[in-house]
Structure 1
């Protein structure tokens, strides 16, 4: 088959490789001038490997997905740590026993930490919103210190206006584990994400065209037996039912000369101060040695490239209208965060892409 793949991020590149391995001819197009989607990384002018579109930390519990990507990259073992700043002081985040002890000047054991949460939580009979999730788990004071304003900045909405799943992603701990993730496999591509994508797309059956709008390719005379679409599903259908809401980000990159280390951990959250949500220092993530350092600040915004589907009932309802059209397509497969209007982690996108390929090959 001649297959067109729209998007050179995780979903598109994994599909491209697997379908090429099965003997199909693949054309991958992307509107940007580079591969790797939002995972794109590059050395800045000072020689430090930075993530152009904000930090991408790889983690998974899936041995299958970790082994799959291991064919295309070596790994640098890295466990991400985050601190949240409250009243000018840094605390471990997600909230753990040390957070409670430092914040409230206590000396709780694990058992006492469990009792502490039980005492302060506001039980909810039905947990519908992100606010419900956090209040049900850690109570109002911790909610207001760590979650409320961060969520408002990140989503432009109050936590009471967002579905429960947003906050459910962040655990609460009674021990002193200060890792952001607890997945079995936590590592960063040793030579960067872009190199990993170059390896994924390096196959004689794969051609790549960058700075190319998919509509221009579809309007060509070229015939495709199948299309894999990884962009925003509403754009595919010319916004027939209206625009699906997405949250975007603006990135402010900065290089700090003669500063070997800017902050104590990879990412510092600023829930209550400034217009940005967090600062990430890339050398923590990559293990790079350098006499200077590079950081990025993230400013959430409604304008710009779509990053995060906004999890609200009305948005889900609109998506279902587009999904109904997509379900009737016999020669188009929709896969990925934007095409499925779903907040996927990177490993979940890889899994979704592998499943999509199985379906395409099964149809043949």
Structure 2
């Protein structure tokens, strides 16, 4: 008999398992269909001994001291400020677009104010931004949109930017300074010994039991529990009764090279060439010293593990039906990217789980 059954051993599930075990002193069973903990943030040492991210680059960044303080119970940190380059016509340019990008691309020598004036000249003015194409062209104009955003977005989503909510591309900043960092958050850190080691500590309390290679359907009938915390796909929980929520998936092709580094930064985007969107080299991210390196090409796909909810109005309407059905269940709590059909960064998942614990679970 368990007080709580948690479905999914990613950030949301592990955070709630720890809080329930340590703060409430109650018994938790956490299950996952995969053969490992950590969800998509899982990392491991490959055959060459290189620490790699199994499901693509996971870069931790946050403005929340609360989240950093919480996770610091389980890991030490190393400072890492992420940089991304885009390969365009055989040359590399900083992304997000900034002063260095524009000056190199157009052979200019602008300062920050002149770049702001440049953006104002080339951008198109819209009364209302209705999609991602307008979100980008309304900031940087058509030429930069065509060079850096249009084809990359189609590869990622199999939808053109004008078919996607403005929120998709609006997340990408445009700068007038020389800041090459991809993120602007106050805290940009990586778990010193990797994510998996951190998750192991999160689940180390004796009140927490773990079952891998196990689905909710398998245990539903024979394991007794008082309250269910579900971090998986909400449409699957309801047996797709209103229809299937669409996701984009990813496929990774790993290669090990007999060289210390393959590329100058962790992520190089390929907006216009090839079928893959980017090449990731995790040694830049982890700080590992090794004579070899492992890279992975990232191919977006329609089928496979669900990664990205597809942000379109019709999908939000479908999710709302599931959300309404979930609201009627007193003994089930839904939390996480898949359960809430929302693109969360890792820190946002932790913050959401801590809030759910404080506002709901601790009151049970």
Please give the range of the TM-score, normalised by the shorter of the 2 chains. Answer: over 0.9
The equivalent of 2:234 in structure 1 is: 233
Instruction: State which of 152, 155, 158 in structure 2 corresponds to 1:153.
Output: 155
Unaligned runs of 5+ in 2: none
Q: Look up the match of 1:140.
A: 142
Tell me the CA shift for residue 77 of structure 1: 0.8
Find the counterpart in structure 1 of residue 264 from structure 2.
264
Residue number in structure 2 paired with 1:363: 363
- Map 1:302-313 → 2, pairs under 5 A: 302-313=302-313
- Residue 322 of structure 1, CA deviation: 0.4
Counterpart of 1:35 (choices 10, 34, 37) is 37
Q: Secondary structure at the match of 2:303?
A: coil
Shift of 1:358: 1.3
**Is 1:346 aligned with 2:346?**
yes
Which aligned pairs between 1:14-53 and structure 2 lie closer than 5 A? 14-21=15-22, 22-53=24-55
Give, in angstroms, the shift of residue 356 of structure 1: 1.0
Cα deviation 1:263-311 (Å, max 9, x = unaligned): 0111000000000000011110011111111111100000101000000
Question: 2:158 and 2:326 mapped to 1: Cα distance?
Answer: 29
Q: Secondary structure at the match of 1:225?
A: strand
Equivalent in the alignment of 1:254 = 255
Aligned to 1:97: 99
Aligned to 1:329: 329
Choose the corresponding residue for 2:59, options 51, 57, 68.
57
Residue 185 of structure 1: aligned partner: 187
Structure 2 residue aligned with 1:126: 128
Shift in Å, 1:363: 3.3
Secondary structure at the counterpart of residue 175 of structure 2: coil
Q: Per-residue displacement from partner, 1:207-264 (whole Å, max 9, x unpaired)? A: 00000011111121x321100000000000000011100000001111001x111101
Distance 1:328 1:359 in 2: 17
Q: Per-residue deviation at 1:359?
A: 2.6
Residues in 1 aligned to 2:14 and 2:214: alpha-carbon distance in whole angstroms: 16
List gaps (5 residues or longer) in structure 1: none
Partner of 1:12: 13
Please list, as runs of the form range in 1=range in 2, the aligned pairs for 1:67-86 lying within 5 A after superposition: 67-86=69-88
Provide the TM-score with structure 1 as the length reference.
Answer: 0.98
- In structure 2, C-alpha distance between the alignment counterparts of 1:90 and 1:9, rounded to whole Å: 34
> CA separation in 1, counterparts of 2:80 and 2:351?
22
* 1:219 pairs with one of 211, 215, 221: 221
